[in-house]
Amino acid sequence: MGAAEYEERLEAFVGRELTPLTPGQDPVNQPMIRHWTEAMGDTSPVYTDEAAARATGRPGVVAPASMVQAWTMRGYAATTAPAPGRRGFDELVALLDEGGYTSVVATDSELEFARELVPGDHVGVREVVESISPEKKTGLGVGRFVTTMKTYRDQNDEVVATQRWRTLRFCPAPAQAASDGPRPPRPRPALNRDNAFWFEAAREHRLVIQRCVSCETLRHPPGPCCPRCGSFAWDTVRASGRGHVYSFTINHHPRHPAFDYPLVVAVVELAEGTRLITGLTGVAPEDVTIDMPVVLDWLDADPDLSLPVFRPVASEDR
Ligand code: ZN
């Protein structure tokens, strides 16, 4: 299929109905208004209090204007059954997929309201394609902006609101290959006068813990002042190197080319009681568990940077 033919097929969608007028599952009603305003934290009484609403000149309670879309959403039904009458929508998505535009992100929504909805109104929506842009380069990849117009009508076929809805359908940009060129060095720690001693010890493969001279409380990460007694006097003790996994996460994104992924990032609680954020080594991500006993190892990242990492306790370490 040629590019020109593809453009023509896209162009043929402009003006086409994606979703025929489809009534909402329920009429506008007070319980849904109450749930919505509670969830949104909107405390205006015109949505829930008849007297307060009348005091503003309204005939009674009204629904929040921006709830218009909620009245036409299919809710959980949408997860179990295809939407009725959405053939046009499905065809457009298939055509965009064919062009490689497989990802979607909503970009903006312009709502205009003709009148306030009141309990008992029954709203339906119809969606028509307004425009499909030429291919554009975006930060997410090349794509096309698809703009549709949703028209909301009440039980008397009067327009109550319109919504211009724009999405970007894009070809996801390929991830930067980790093997392109030499691997860059790890990011440097941000050294300062309060933490340099810790990284200097690490370069000598010593894991140290800062200790308050006044009250002997251990602390990590390093800091100038004891959080318990306020003393600025400190020294260090050398950690045993034993601990357990207090918590962990498996990091997939964003990727830095100096690291291998998936990357296990753990909070290890040392036998001495302090915790540090560290890497785990010698264990598959799926095998890491909370409370897993671990023991200190060293990662010599480059001549200037050695960092403590931890590996699971092997039988010979017990
Ligand atoms: Zn202290």
**How much distance in Å is there from the Cα of 204 to the middle of ligand 1?**
27
Return the axis-axis angle of helices 3-11 and 87-98, rounded to nearest 10°: 160
**How much distance in Å is there from the Cα of 208 to the middle of ligand 1?**
17
Among 80, 84, 72, residue whose Cα is nearest residue 121: 72
Q: Which amino acid is at 198?
A: W
Q: Are strands 305-312 and 275-280 parallel, antiparallel or unpaired?
A: parallel
User: For residue 256, what are the contacts with CB-CB under 8 A and spacing of at least 6?
Assistant: 187
Encoded tokens for 243: 């601990």
Q: Which amino acid is at 282?
A: G
**How much distance in Å is there from the Cα of 239 to the middle of ligand 1?**
18
> What is the C-alpha to C-alpha distance for residues 136 and 145, in angstroms, rounded to an integer?
8
SS3 80: helix
Domains of the chain: 3-28+63-75+83-170 (3.10.129.10), 196-317 (2.40.50.840)
Q: How far is CA 77 from the centre of its chain?
A: 25
**How much distance in Å is there from the Cα of 211 to the middle of ligand 1?**
8
Among 60, 37, 40, 51, residue whose Cα is nearest residue 116: 60
Among 40, 34, 38, 39, residue whose Cα is nearest residue 62: 34
**How much distance in Å is there from the Cα of 298 to the middle of ligand 1?**
30
Side-chain-side CA neighbours of residue 240 (13 Å): 12
* Neighbour tally for 33: CB within 10 Å: 22
Per-residue pLDDT of the chain (318 residues), as tens digits, is 688 899 999 999 999 999 899 899 999 999 999 999 999 999 999 999 999 999 999 999 999 999 999 999 887 777 777 666 778 888 999 999 999 999 998 889 999 999 999 999 999 999 999 999 999 988 788 999 999 999 999 999 999 999 999 999 999 876 555 456 678 889 889 999 999 999 999 999 999 999 999 999 999 999 999 999 999 999 999 999 999 999 999 999 888 888 988 999 999 999 999 999 999 999 999 999 999 999 999 999 888 899 999 999 986 555
Give 142's strand partners.
137
**How much distance in Å is there from the Cα of 217 to the middle of ligand 1?**
5
Among 166, 208, 179, residue whose Cα is nearest residue 296: 208
Encoded tokens for 123: 């709203």
**How much distance in Å is there from the Cα of 194 to the middle of ligand 1?**
16
